[in-house]
Amino acid sequence: MLAFVVSCKKKNDPSPLFAETKIDLTTHKLTSFSAITNTKYLVVFESGLGNDHKVWIEKDVASEINGKFDVLMYDRAGYGKSENGPTPRNIERLRSELERVIDKFSNGRKVILIGHSLGGLIIRDYAVKNPLKTAAILFVDPSHEFYNRPSQTDEDMLYETAKNAGGANSGVALEVREFIEDLQYASQLPDVVHFRFTLFAG
């Protein structure tokens, strides 16, 4: 059985710590949230299915890392403050949009990628396509090609749930519609290079 989480938790939001920036991708605009002081590495967060950037703030992950490294979060198309983007909302498109977001802030630096759930597939594709730009990757309960082997019926049920919650053009609904194809795509990716990196090294 597949599941995704739509976060509705209300908390004192320390978002002002992070500068909000609109990124124009020509077809649509994404909204990023960053704290940049030009540290050696840029830590980039990729949220899971159904979550925007706030999940990293609510869990205090972004603020903890911000003490050591520059931090970049963003809302994928159809989430939070980002506009809807063109379809299909599959891993290849999501990875290409992540590349555009990173290029806006990396300034030639390597990135440390942290991805949760569906975000794990996105950062994995990024690392495979951009090995020289990637310092490290951290998966948090990631989706993968052996993930529950969902049937079309499973995907259809998830899609109806997502559509009822946020509408047919919401980011989560459009991403759910590509889930089986995304897992098939992931099964053809080469292994990710093993990066060695201590995130909180002094």
The predicted-structure confidence for 68-80, as pLDDT tens digits, reads as follows 999 999 999 999 9
Digit-coded pLDDT (tens) for 176-187: 999 999 999 999
Stronger pLDDT, 148 or 139, i.e. the higher one: 139
Which CATH number does the domain housing residue 126 bear?
3.40.50.1820
Domain span at 96: 15-186
Within a domain: 82: yes
The secondary structure of the chain, three-state, reads CCCCCCCCCCCCCCHHHCEEEEEECCCCEEEEEEECCCCCCEEEEECCCCCCCHHHHHCCHHHHHHCCCEEEEEECCCCCCCCCCCCCCCHHHHHHHHHHHHHHHHCCCCEEEEEECHHHHHHHHHHHHCHHHEEEEEEECCCCCCCCCCCHHHHHHHHHHHHHHHCCCCHHHHHHCCHHHHHHHHCCCCCCCCCCCCCCCC
With a cut of 70, say whether residue 197 has pLDDT above it. no
Within a domain: 10: no
Stronger pLDDT, 25 or 8, i.e. the higher one: 25
Within a domain: 176: yes
Within a domain: 9: no
Within a domain: 5: no
Within a domain: 8: no
With a cut of 80, say whether residue 198 has pLDDT above it. no
The mean pLDDT value for 102-107 works out to 97
With a cut of 90, say whether residue 102 has pLDDT above it. yes
With a cut of 90, say whether residue 16 has pLDDT above it. no
Within a domain: 179: yes
Within a domain: 77: yes
Structural domain tally of the chain? 1
Per-residue model confidence (pLDDT) at position 187: 92
